[in-house]
Amino acid sequence: MMRMIVIPCCVALLAISACAGREDVKSSYVGTASMNENQVTQLLNRQGYTDVTDLHENGPDWIGSANKDGQVVNFDIDKDGNIHTK
């Protein structure tokens, strides 16, 4: 009889402790689709890109050219903020 009470109690305690350690984290990142040209330029500058030119939106992405490590590169920034060079 005692075993029938102890096992459900242990299961309940495990479930409660698992939930107590969970934290909902909200990111302040809103995606490049909601950024303006100046904000996208700042994002690029933080990643080491300089002299950004021809920056414009292409759907949810931003495309343009910039200097990176002494070379001119064309880039595409996807909606998640990933920079793809071409």
The continuous run of DSSP H or E covering 51 comes out as strand 49-58
Q: What's phi and psi for 70, nearest 5 deg?
A: 80, 5
Would you mind telling me the total number of residues written for the chain in this entry?
86
> How much is the pLDDT for 17?
46
> How much is the pLDDT for 22?
45
Q: What's phi and psi for 59, nearest 5 deg?
A: 70, -130
**Average pLDDT across the chain, whole number:** 79
The owner of tokens 């021809």 is 54
> How much is the pLDDT for 23?
45
Segments in the chain below pLDDT 50: 11, 13-27
- Show the tokens assigned to 58: 């292409």
> How much is the pLDDT for 45?
96
Rg (CA), the chain: 24
